[in-house]
Amino acid sequence: MVEPHIFSLALPEIILAVGSMALLMIGVFLGEQSTRIVTSLSVALLALTAIVVMSMDAEGITFGGAFIVDGFARFLKVLALVASALAILMAVGYVRKERFERFEFPVLIVISTLGMMMMISANDLISVYLGLELTSLASYVVAAIHRDDAKSSEAGMKYFVLGALSSGMLLYGASLVYGFTGHTEFGAIAASISAAGGSSVGLVFGLVFLLAGIAFKVSAVPFHMWTPDVYEGSPTPVTAFFAAAPKVAAMAVFVRVVIDAFAPVGTDWQQIVSFMAIASMALGSFAAIGQRNIKRLMAYSSIGHMGFALVGLAAGSETGVQGVLIYLATYVAMTAGGFACILAMRRNGVMTETIDDLAGLSRTNKTMAFFLAMIMFSLAGIPPFAGFFAKYFVFVAAIEQGLVALAVIGVLTSVVGAYYYLRIIKVMYFDEPAPAFEKTPVELSVVLWATGLFTVFFVVVAGPISSAAAAAAKTLF
């Protein structure tokens, strides 16, 4: 028997699945010359899906309790779709100049995004794993898609090996949770734990392994080891994709698992999440100080920022989840803008990746220098930019729940992290100019202007985004 609303609730996923198969057929029949057509259609498909998600008003649980659609899911699905579309858009000029135009690239990102949509709507440990693997398998391929580049192949292999390990940990944790509760559906797990009067040693072990598998996907310490090498080795548009979209989906799973399934044992998972948050913020702030490669620096930066987002989750409150959602929205914009600038760092036909290559940029490309400086200020959490408000919301949520020490550590690590962001600004504005970069491609200019203006004038849209995040968070409680 078909459940009511089954197709209307899963309409965005159905559109992406059918669309990705159609794009694959177009690519196969038209050959390599179809790359630009497939790329344009992929962006259009992601935009269409985002519009469908935003226009949906149906909510509910379907597929036997495995798939849930609510305000929380819709908010994060739009974020993931926007991040994926920006990654494809930013790759247009790069793949042409690096001579590895392949129609498979945008199709794989669309398929990976489909997996993310499933993760965000997962209401069951099995559907979490299915979405996670669909996302990961496509991601392993795009990391190594530049087959003529040894670093890209190495990045794909490292990501695959460590990703398989993390999936194994997640599966082992899920099997332990199932063994001790008799359920895989989140609501049933919570009810079973409540009926048992709390957690057992075996259940805590299952929870630890489950969170370890998810932590790998968000690059939280101590499961961050793949991030710097994969970010540096992957083609830069792929790095931009990894830095934003999959983090949104994995954080959605993180929130749903602890809030929906393990709410009765909040003290157990709060300790784990708090440790991950502190370790991620500290490592992200201190390890980036000595970096000279800007992609590696952004890798450590993303580790730190996931730590800040976990501060909101550690609060375990509605305000905390609202803070996480606002943080993810600003993080996607800042990351996309930062990588648009990194992709524009091309000199004499060759990509440059060191911070020193930005020397004197304010005198050779004023627009790019200005927006990159504003994004760096925002990443550092300096008011009145978007990053300041993001940190403000998660720290307030932590303080409201009595986690004052966690908020203080967050503020202190923000101060340390500000050093390497401000160093980039200093290099751009005060060092002797290096030779000018090539003209910035149109698609990168569009992304840079859009994300840069969002970051600078976030205070204008802070109200609507905060209200949307609050409404999304409310659906979980």
Provide φ and ψ at 476, rounded to 5°.
Answer: -90, -15
Measured CA to CA, the distance from residue 65 to residue 108 in angstroms comes to 28
Between the two ends of the chain, the Cα-to-Cα distance in Å is 30
Q: Residue 50 is encoded by which pair of tokens?
A: 């985002």
The string of DSSP codes covering 15-54 is HHHHHHHHHHHHHHHHGGGGHHHHHHHHHHHHHHHHHHHH
Kind and range of the H or E run holding 350: strand 350-351
Q: How confident is the model at residue 41 (pLDDT cuts 50, 70, 90)?
A: very high
Residue 100: Cβ within 10 Å count: 17
Alpha-carbon distances, residue 79 vs 86, 137, 173 (angstroms):
11, 21, 28
pLDDT on residue 59: 80
Which tokens hold the place of 43?
Answer: 């962006």
Report how far residue 76's alpha carbon sits from residue 57's, in angstroms, rounded to the nearest whole number: 15
Radius of gyration over alpha carbons of the chain, in Å? 21
Task: Please classify residue 212 by burial: count the beta carbons closer than 10 Å to its beta carbon, then call 0-12 exposed, 13-18 middle and 19+ buried.
Answer: buried
Q: What is the pLDDT of residue 394?
A: 92
pTM, two decimal places: 0.92
Q: Is pLDDT above 50 for 297?
A: yes
| Contact (CB, 8 A) for 424 and 376 | yes
pLDDT (tens digit, 9 = 90+) per residue, 111-126?
999 999 999 999 899 9
Task: Using pLDDT thresholds of 50, 70 and 90, give the confidence band for residue 1.
Answer: very low
Beta bridge partners of 293: 354
Predicted confidence band at 6 (pLDDT cuts at 50, 70, 90)?
A: low
Side chain identity at residue 10, one-letter code:
A
* pLDDT higher than threshold 90 for residue 325: yes
CA torsion through residues 446, 451, 457, 461, sign: positive
Above 70 in pLDDT, residue 5? no
Q: What percent of the chain has pLDDT above 90?
A: 29
Do the Cβ atoms of 424 and 372 come closer than 8 Å? yes
Which backbone phi and psi does 185 adopt, to 5 degrees? -80, 135
In the predicted structure, residue 20 carries a pLDDT above the cut 80: yes
Q: What is the pLDDT of residues 167-210, one digit of tens each?
A: 889 999 999 999 888 888 888 888 888 887 777 888 888 888 99
pLDDT at residue 3 is higher than 60: no
* Lowest mean pLDDT, pick from 73-82, 375-384, 433-442, 447-456: 433-442
Say if CB 339 and CB 270 are below 8 A apart.
no
Average pLDDT over residues 338-367: 85
Contact 8, 61 (CB under 8 A): no
pLDDT in tens, 386-399: 889 999 999 999 99
Distance CA 376, CA 379 (A): 5
CA distance 35 to 372: 30
Q: Are 128 and 63 spatial neighbours (Cβ–Cβ below 8 Å)?
A: no
Confidence band for 2, pLDDT divided at 50, 70 and 90: very low
